[in-house]
Structure 1
Amino acid sequence: MELDFNRDWLLMKEDGSSCHVNLPHDAMIHEQRSFSNRNGDKTGFFPGGKYVYKKEFSLDSRSSDEQIIIHFNGVYGRTKLLLNGQNVGNHLYGYTPFDVDITDASVDGQNVLEVIVDNTLVPNTRWYSGSGIYRMVTLIRRDRTHIDDVRINTVCINPPTIHVSCNMKNANVIIIDADGKIVAEGPLGDLVIENANLWSSKTPYLYTCQISTESEYVEKKFGIRELKWSSEKGLTINGQVEKLRGGCIHHDNGVIGACAFKDAEYRKVRILKEAGYNAIRSSHNPCSESLLDACDELGMYVLDEAFDGWYMPKNHHDYSRVFWDEYKSDLSTMVERDYNHPSVIIYSIGNEVSEVGTEEGIKLASEMTEFVRKLDSSRPVTCGINIMLTVWAKQGMGIYRDEAEYVAEPLPELDYVEEKKSGSAFFNALAQKLGSLMSTQTKTKKAGVVVDGIAGSFDVLGLNYGQCRYDMELKNHPERILLGTETYIGDLAYNWSRVMSSNVLIGDFCWTAMDYIGEAGIGAWQYESSKEMPLLAGSGAIDILGNADAQNGFQKVVWGLEDIYIGVRPVNMSSQKVLKKAWRFTDAIPSWNWPGYEGEKAHVEVYSNGSYVKLELNGKTLGKKRVKGYRTDFVCKYDKGTLTAISYDLLGKELARTVLSSGHGISELSVKAEKKNMKANGQDLNYIILESIDEAGIWCPADEKELTVSIEGPAVIQGIGTAKPYSNRSFTDNAQKTYQGRCQIVIRSLYEPGEVTIHIKTADGMDKTVRMDVM
C-alpha cells in the first residue's frame, strides 16, 4: 500500500523561522538572491541553506510481517533522516531516489520524522539546483516478503513478445491494453501479445502489466518497442531508422523552481513535443520519474544522464568529493528505476568529463559502461565528450585545483567577482570570447588522440560541440556510431545535414531546448538598459514560461516540420547596443506589433527551405534574397500592417508564405487559465497566462505592465514571474512586471474543496478576476 506523504510538513530554517509546507518544496526559490553568496551566477545568485523538514504521523495496526518504507524521489542537499530521534538514513546525491526503512525505528501511534537537508556546502552545482525535498515522497506499507525487481523487456516484435521477471517465482502476469482489455496472461517469462501496438515517439502506446501473488499485486506501465543500434543502420526503433531531434534540458520548472510536480513535468514534455523535439537529454543528472512518465505517455525519447562530473572537480563542493564512494550506487539506482520506461533509449554516464583524457579516466569509462551493461544490456551507453575541453585539460588548462587540502566546510561569503573558470565553465567562458573558432580544435592531431583513446569505451560516441569532426569520423571510422550530445542551435543547418546523410550519426541535441535558471546570462543577449541581476541562462529555444522564439522556428524549418518562419528582433530595443552571447544566435520573436516605434529600424529574419525569400510589407516588396543555411536577413523601417515572407525554388515557383500582422487600438491584459477546475489533492497545478494584446487580439511584446496578484480559497500561488533573463524580481513576489508583454502565475491546489478566486490588478487600472473550483 502506497500513501501520499507530501501533506503538512513543518519547515524550519537556520534563522529560527518556520512554516508549514506541502511537498514537493523548493527552499532555494524562497531565498534572497545576492551578489555575495558563493553560488554566484551558477544558480542565478540564489544561495544555499540548511533546512529541517519535520512531519508527525501515526502508524496503526502494524504487524510483525510488515515492512514500512519512506520513498523519496529526490532531496537536494546532504540529507540526514531521524525518526523519533534515531538516525534511520543518509543520502548525498540530490538527483537519485532513495528508500528509508523505518520498520524497526517506528512505533505504534505517533511518530516524528525529521529530514535534515544541508545545502550550505556551495558551490556544488553549475546551474540552479534548488534545495530541500523538491520531489514527491511516498509512505509504503508492505509485507517483508513482497514483489520487487519487476522487469519487462521486449524480446521481439514479430511476433510481439515480452519477457516479465521479478523476485517472486510463483507470480502470475496479466497484460492489459489501453482500453482495459486483457490481451495476455500467464506465469513469469515470455508472453506473446497478438496484434500488439508498438511504442515509439510517433505512437506512444502503453500497456499495463499486473503481477500478482496470493497476497499482493503490483502494476507497471510499459511499452513494446524494439531498440537496436549498429554502424550499418544507426539507431532503429521497431525496425525503422530514427533520427533524434534532440534538446538538452535542466530539471527546474521555471517560476516554480526545482519542484517536480507531475503537472509541471507533463506540461514541459508536451510543450517540447509541440515544438518539434522527439528526444530530450536529462542534463546532467537523473530526471524525476514524473518526467519519464510524461515521456512514456507523450512519446519523447530520453537520453538518460547520470552525472555532470566524475572525480575531477568542476567547482569546490561538487559531486567529485564523494564520487568514488557513491557513483556505483547512484548509477545503479538510475538504471534500475528507469529500466521499464520505453522512452529511455540511451544511457549517458557523464558530461564533459576531462578525465577521459587520462589513462585512469579511460579505464573508468570502460568500467562504468560495463557496469551499466550488466544492469541493462538492452540500451546503448554514451557520454558527452567535449574534445576541446579534454585536450586543454591534458595541457593543464581549465582544471579546478584546490588552493589547500579540501575540507567539507562552507566557504566564506564575498562580494561577487568573476571566479576563475574550470571544467565546463572554462569552456563556456572561452566560447563566449572565441565563438565558432573553438570548434576547429576538434580537428587537430591532439583531438584525434583524445577521440581514439575514448571512443571504444562506449556504444555511442557522444560529442559536445564536436561538429567540425563529423566528416573526419564518418570517413575514417564508419564503424563508430556518433551522436551530437550538445550543440549550438545556430549550427543546426550543418549538423542536421550530416545527420540526415549518414547512418551512423543518429541525432543532434541542442543547448538548450527550454530555458532554465542559473548559468545566468550565457545565452541572454544583454542590452545596455539591462542593469538588473542575471537570473536565467537565456539560451533556450523555448522560454521558461513555455513560449517558443525564433530559435525554435529555425529548428522546425531545418528539421522539415515547417516550410517558412518569420522572426523579428525586438524593435523597441533596436536603438540600443547589445552584447550577443555564444549560446543564442538570435533574439528574434514572432511579432510585427510594435506600436509607438514606427520608423525605427527593424531586423527581420526569415527561415526557409526554399532557394529565395521575398519580404513584403503591406504588399510592397522590401527585398528578395538568396537563402543561405535556411536563413535570410532583412533590415527595414517598422510600420504597422502586414509583413509577408514568400519562399521560392530556383525556378521562381512559390513554395510557401507566412505573415505577421500588427494590430490596432489600446492594449488589454489577456488572462487565460489552462484548466477550468483543479483536484483537491495538494498536487494539481493550473498555469494562468497573462499577455498584453490589442483590440485585434494580437500580442503586444513592447507593452509591459506592473501588476499585483492575490488569491482566495483552497489554493496557493506556487510561483509567479516572467521570462526576463536579467531581473531583480523574485518568483515568490506577488508584485511583478510583465516582460515582452507576458507573465505567468502557477496556482497549486490544497487538499480541501472550494472556489478559488485570483485577482490581477495592473498599475494602469485594469482589474481581472479568474475563478475555478477545487474539487
Structure 2
Amino acid sequence: MSSSHGRVLSLAAIFALLSVAAEAERMPLVSGWRVHPGAVVGAEAVAFDDGDWRQVTVPHDVSVDDHPDGTPPFDAQAVAGQDSGYLPGMQAWYRRHIVLDAAQAAGVIRLNFEAVYMDADIWLNGQPLARHHDGYTAFTLDLTGKVRPGDNVIAVRVDHADPSSRWYAGTGLIRPVSLDLLDLVHVAPDSVAVTTPVATEERGEVAVRSAVVNRSPRAATVDLLSRVLAADGTVVAQARRALPVAANARVDWDQALRVNRPALWSPDAPNLYTLVQQVRVGGVLRDERRTRFGIRTITVDARQGLRINGQKVVLKGGNIHHDNYMIGAAGLPDADARKVALMKAAGYNAIRSAHNPASQATLDAADALGMLVIDEAFDAWDKPKRAQDYARFFATDWAADLDSLVVSGRNHPSVLFWSIGNEIPEQGTPQGAETGRRLADRVRHLDPTRPVTQAVSIDGPDNARQFAVLDVAGYNYRAHLFGPDHVQFPDRVMLTTESTPQDAFQYWRPVETMPWVIGDFVWTAVDYIGEAGIGWMGYSQDWQKLAPYPWTLAYCGEIDATGRKRPAAYYREVLWKTGIDPISAFVRQPPGTEDLPDRHYFTIQPPHLDWSLDDVHPSWTWPGQEGKPLEVVVYSEFPEVELFLNGRSLGRHPVGVEGEYKTAFQVPYAPGRLVAVGYRDGRPAGRWELRTAGAPAGARLSLDRKTVRANGQDLAYLTVELVDADGAPVYAQDGDRMAAVRVDGAGVLAGLGNGNPRDAASFQSGQRRTFHGRLVLAVRAGTRAGPITIDVDLAGMPTRRVTLDATSP
C-alpha cells in the first residue's frame, strides 16, 4: 500500500481519506430505517403502522438476517441454491421518516440510491415516485416540490425473485442512501466531469465540464469559481467565469485550469487533488461542490502496451464480487475499502468489478491506494443466464444503467477501462456485435478518455466480430490464443479478464513476454458467497451442478473470506516479484487425508476448467504422519532455496522461471521447526518458518483500528487467532474452538465469520467455531459517542476483552 512518499497507508488513513471526500450538502440516510422481509399490503401509505418492523441501518442486506426465531438464513431448499450459497432472495419493504424545515422543503432535494437489489419501487408520502430494476446501478429521484415541511415518509419495496444471479447478490438497500439539499441555483451534481488531457512532470491540464442549474423563477448572473486544491489544501489552480442563466434553465460550462509541476496519480503514487466549485449570485455563495480527482493519462496499444503518464504498467489483477461475507451484500464503505486494501497489501494493482458497477467506496479506496479498476456494467444483455436476471430489463434499461456506470465513475482516476459485459450469451453473433457497438459508442460519448473492453469467452473466428467493437480485448481463460491471434490481428490489445489460480504462471508469462498482452485478472482475488464450492470440487461435467448444502462459499479466493492470504496469494506475490513475501513454504495435504470433504464430488473428464487452489497448507503440524514423507512446496523470488528441519539441512534447490519460481522437497515428517532460506549471490536473503503447534492455549487478538466515528456505519474488524503455549499459530482443524462474542456500548456486532466454506451458521448470533484457528468479526459503530467493548470467549480459555472508541463524527 504505497503512498507517493513510499509509506504504508493504513486502513485508518484510508477511512480518513474517504471521509474527506464527502460532500457538505449531502445528508447520509444511515439510521432511522425499518425493514420487513416479505410481502406487505399498504406499506407505502403514510399512516401505515411499522412499529413492529425491525430497525436497521443502511446499507443493509435482509437476506443474511437471522430468522425471527434466531435460526440462520441459510436454507438447503433456497430457490437459487448453489448460485446464492443457499441464501434466499425475497420481497422486502423499507420505510424511513425524513423531517424537513420550511427552508429545506422549498429548496432542491434529490434522493440518491447507490444500489437497491433489485426491482425496486419507491414511494414518497404514499405517492409512487419511481421503479428501478437494476440491482447495482446508482439512481437519483428529484423530490423538489414533492416534499412538505415537517414529516415525510419514504417507502421502498424490493422484489428479489430468484434465480436472479449466478452468485450471491443480496436483497435490499445494499449501498448507501443519501439526500441532497441544494439551493435553487447550484452545480448539477451529476454533470461534473473532470479530465486531464495533459499530465507531465511539468504541467497538468485540467478540463472541467459541468452545468449550473437555476430552478428559481428569476434569471440570474451566476459566478462560477473553480479551484484545484492539493492534498495539503493549497490552491494550485483556479478559473472564474460569470454567465447569465435564465429562470428554470441549465447552462453547460467548460473551464480549463493548469497545474504547474503536478503530483501525478499512478498506482505507485496515488496523488489526489480536489476540485472545489463555488456558485455565487450577487456575491452570495449559493452552492459549493467538491470533486476528488487525479492528474493522469492513459494510453494503450499493441506495441508498447498500457502506459499511465507515459510509463509502462502491467495489470496484476484480481476479480471481486460485491458481497462482504459476514455482513452479506451490505456495501458499508469500510467493508468495501478493506477489500481493496487487502488486495493492495497482497501485491495486486488492479481490480475487475465482476460483474456489475463498483461501489463508490471501492472506487474511493482504489483512488487513495493506487488500484486500477475495470468497472463492469452487465453479466447479461438480451439473453438471460438465469430466469429472473437483468436480461428481463436490458432492452428498456440498458442506456440509463450504462449512463449511471460512467457518470458515477468517470471522475475516479482509478477507473482504467469500462467493461460493457461478461461472457454474454450472444457474444460473437451479429446481434451480440451490434449490441456491443451500441454500448461502446454510448460509453465513448460520455467518456472519450478511457478504453472500452468486454470479457469474451469464445474462440475465433467468432470472437473477432465481438473484439472489433472494443478498444481492448478481454479474454476469459484463453491465454493459448494470445500468440496466434496477434499474428492475425497485430494491433489488438489483449488481456486476461479471468484466469484460474492454479495456472497463474501460464497466464502471467505472456504478460512478461508479449507487449500486446497487458495483464491478468485471476478468478478470484477475494472469496465470496455463492457459486458454492467452485474452488474445491468445481462444476459437474455438464456445468449444471456445484457443491451441495451446506457449502456456502465459492472457496476460490486467493484471499479468503475473512481476509487471510491463502498459499496461492503468496505464490502470486513471488510470481509478480513484489518483494512482499519473497519466500514462503507450504505442505501438501498428506495422501489418505483431507482438509475438507468432497474434493472429487464429481467425476470429471478433461478438458474442464478447474478453479481449485493447490491443496497446500501453512502448517507443520501433522500428527499421525511421523516418519512419512510430506511434500513441502517452496515459492521463491531468490534463485536458490535451502530447507532445514530442526536445524538440519535437507538440501538446496535452484529456483527460477524454468521451474515457475517454485520447488518441492520430500521431507519425512518430524515435529519441530521447518525453515526455508532463500539465497541471493550465495548469501541468505530471506527465510520462512513453520512450527509444529501444540494444543490451543490462548488467542491473539488484533483490531484494525482503535477509533470509529459514531455515524452508524463505520466498521472495525477484530481478528482472533488461536495459539499454543509458545505462541505458535494453531492451524489444524482438530484444534478449532467454539467462540462466543459479545459487543457492548456504542457499537454492535455487524457480523462474525471464519472463512469455512461449509459453515452455514449465523453471521449475527455471536456464536461461531474457528476455522484453521481463526475467525474475524466486524463491529459497527452506533450513532452516539462512547466506548465499545468486545468480549471473546473461547472454549476452555479465559475471556478476552478489547476496547475501542466511537467518537463524534
TM-score range, shorter chain: 0.7 to 0.9
How far residue 213 of structure 1 moved from its aligned partner, in angstroms, is: 1.2
Partner Cα separation in structure 2 for residue 735 and residue 667 of structure 1? 20
2:512 is equivalent to residue 500 of structure 1: yes
Which is further off, 720-729 or 375-384?
720-729
The AA in structure 1 aligned to 2:167 is W
Please name the residue that 1:674 is paired with: 704
Within a 5 Å distance, the mapping from 1:355-374 to structure 2 comes to 355-374=426-445
**Aligned-pair CA distance for 1:683:** 1.2
The counterpart of 1:634, out of the listed 665, 669, 682, is 665
SS of the residue 1:213 aligns to:
strand
Counterpart of 2:632 in structure 1 is: 604
Q: CA deviation at 1:275?
A: 0.2
Q: Distance in 2 between matches of 1:15 and 1:688?
A: 36
1:488 corresponds to? 500
Aligned match for 2:231, one of 178, 186, 198: 178
- Give the C-alpha shift of residue 707 in structure 1: 1.5
Q: CA deviation at 1:272?
A: 0.5
Residue 303, structure 1, aligned to residue 377, structure 2: no
Q: Distance in 1 between matches of 2:149 and 2:99?
A: 7
- In the TM superposition, residue 598 of structure 1 has moved relative to its aligned partner by 4.7
Residue of structure 2 equivalent to 1:534? 551
Aligned counterpart for 1:124 among listed residues 148, 156, 164? 164
1:416 corresponds to: none
Q: Alpha-carbon deviation of 1:648? A: 6.3
Q: Deviations over 1:135-164 (max 9, x none)?
A: 111111113442021111102124221111
- Relative distance call for 1:762 and 1:190 in structure 2 (3 A) is same
1:579 counterpart residue number:
599
Assess, with a 3 A threshold, how the Cα gap between structure 1 residues 743 and 572 changes in structure 2: closer, same or farther. Answer: farther
- TM-superposed CA distance for 1:611, in Å, is 5.8
1:110 partner letter: D
Mapped pair 1:752 → 2:784: yes
Instruction: Name the structure 2 match of 1:399.
Output: none
1:494 and 1:459 mapped to 2: Cα distance? 24
Aligned partner of residue 100 in structure 1, secondary structure: strand
Which amino acid in structure 1 is aligned with residue 171 of structure 2? S
Letter in 2 for 1:62: A
User: Is 1:324 aligned to 2:324, yes or no?
Assistant: no
Q: Equivalent residues in 2 for 1:151-166 (5 A)?
A: 151-158=193-200, 159-166=203-210
Check if 1:353 corresponds to 2:385. Answer: no
Aligned to 1:203: 269
Query: 2:460, 2:118 → 1: CA distance?
Result: 39
1:591 to 615, 619, 622: 619
Q: Distance in 2 between matches of 1:350 and 1:594?
A: 46
| Percent of aligned positions that are identical | 35
Q: Which moved more, 1:541-550 or 1:355-364?
A: 355-364
> Where does residue 805 of structure 2 map in the other structure?
773
2:605 is matched with none
Please tell me the root mean square deviation across aligned C-alpha atoms, in Å: 2.3
Q: Distance in 1 between matches of 2:665 and 2:79?
A: 44
Residues 764 and 658 (structure 1), Cα distance of their counterparts in 2 relative to 1, 3 Å cut: closer
- Distance between the aligned counterparts of 2:710 and 2:594, measured in 1? 50
Structure 1 residues 716-731: aligned runs within 5 Å: 716-731=748-763
Please report how far the alpha carbon of residue 639 of structure 1 lies from its aligned counterpart in structure 2 after TM superposition: 2.4
Q: Distance in 1 between matches of 2:439 and 2:804?
A: 51
Q: 1:770 and 1:525, CA in 2 relative to 1: closer, same or farther beyond 3 A?
A: farther
Partner of 2:15: none
- Say whether the 8 Å CA contact 1:593–1:698 is kept in structure 2: no
Instruction: Tell me whether 1:143 sits opposite 2:166 in the alignment.
Output: no
**Partner Cα separation in structure 2 for residue 153 and residue 100 of structure 1:** 27
Task: Give the TM-score normalised by the residue count of structure 1.
Answer: 0.88
8 Å Cα contact 1:594-1:700 kept in structure 2: no
Provide Cα deviations, 1:49-100, integer angstroms capped at 9, x if missing partner.
1111111121112378622111111111211111111001111101011112
- Report the number of matched residues: 711
Given that 1:2 and 1:140 are in contact with CA atoms closer than 8 Å, whether structure 2 keeps it comes out as: yes
1:766 to partner: Cα distance: 2.9
Please give the alpha-carbon distance, in whole angstroms, between the structure 2 residues aligned to 1:730 and 1:557.
Answer: 37
Listed one character per residue, the Cα deviations across residues 201-246 of structure 1 (whole Å, up to 9, x for unaligned) are 0000001110111021111111000111122211100000110000
With over 3 angstroms needed to count, the CA separation of the structure-2 counterparts of 1:88 and 1:531, relative to structure 1, is: closer
Which runs of structure 1 show a deviation greater than 6 angstroms over 4 or more consecutive aligned residues?
651-655
SS in 2 for 1:357: coil
Question: How far 1:575 sits from its partner (Å)?
Answer: 5.7
Q: Which runs of 5+ in 2 are unaligned?
A: 1-24, 41-51, 67-72, 213-221, 241-253, 281-285, 539-546, 601-608
**SS of residue in 1 equivalent to 2:102:** coil
Asked if 2 retains the 8 angstrom alpha-carbon contact of 1:601 and 1:636, the reply is yes
CA distance in 1, matches of 2:491, 2:695: 62
In 1: Cα distance, 2:356 partner to 2:297 partner? 25
Which residue matches 2:570?
A: 553
Partner residue of 2:337?
A: 266
Tell me how far apart the structure 2 counterparts of residues 460 and 545 of structure 1 sit (CA, whole Å): 33
2-structure distance, mates of 1:102, 1:213:
22
Name the SS of the counterpart of 2:530 in structure 1: coil
Q: Distance in 2 between matches of 1:350 and 1:668?
A: 49
Distance 1:139 1:666, change over 3 A: closer
Contact 1:163 1:190 in 2 (8 A): yes
Matches within 5 A, 1:331-730: 331-387=402-458, 447-524=459-536, 533-562=550-579, 563-569=582-588, 574=593, 579=599, 582-593=610-621, 598-599=626-627, 602-609=630-637, 613-622=641-650, 627=655, 628-647=659-678, 657-663=687-693, 666-702=696-732, 703-730=735-762
2: distance between equivalents of 1:598 and 1:57?
67
Partner AA of 1:266 in structure 2: A
Of 26, 30, 41, the match for 1:6: 30
Cα separation, 2, equivalents of 1:597 and 1:688: 34
Q: CA deviation at 1:319?
A: 0.6
Asked if the contact 2:319–2:523 (Cα under 8 Å) also holds between the matched residues in 1, the reply is: yes
Residues 591-627 of structure 1 deviation map (CA, whole Å, 9 limit, x = unaligned): 3345686556633211234566443312334455565
Cα displacement (A) at 1:35:
1.8
Displacement of 1:370? 1.2
Aligned residue identity for 1:45: Y
2:61 is the alignment partner of 1:26: yes
CA distance in 1, matches of 2:594, 2:714: 44
Change (3 A) 1:8 1:587: farther
Deviations along 1:698-749, one digit per CA (max 9) or x if unpaired, are 2111120012112221211100011001112121221110000001111101
Per mean C-alpha deviation after superposition, the further-off stretch among 481-490 and 659-668 is 659-668
Contact 1:648 1:655 in 2 (8 A): yes
Q: For 1:64 and 1:13, locate their aligned partners in 2 and report how far apart those are by CA, in whole Å.
A: 31
**Separation of aligned partners in 2, 1:2 and 1:531:** 45
For the 8 Å contact 1:574–1:602, the answer to whether it is kept is no
507-516 or 62-71, which deviates more: 62-71
Displacement, 1:252? 0.8
Distance 1:736 1:657, change over 3 A: closer
- Among 96, 99, 104, the alignment partner of 1:55 is 96
Cα deviation digits, residues 572-592 of structure 1 (max 9, x gap)? 983677616921231323333
Which stretch shows the higher mean deviation, 174-183 or 558-567?
Answer: 558-567
Letter in 1 for 2:599: L
AA matched with 1:276 = G
Q: Which of 80, 87, 99 is matched with 2:140 structurally?
A: 99
Distance (Å, rounded) in 1 between the aligned partners of 2:39 and 2:430: 48
Q: Taking structure 1 as reference, are residues 749 and 609 closer, same or farther at Cα in structure 2, changes over 3 Å only?
A: closer
Matches within 5 A, 1:730-741: 730-741=762-773
- State how far apart, in whole Å, the 1-side matches of 2:337 and 2:363 are: 9
Find the residue that maps to 1:579 and give its secondary structure: coil
- Report how far residue 367 of structure 1 moved: 1.7
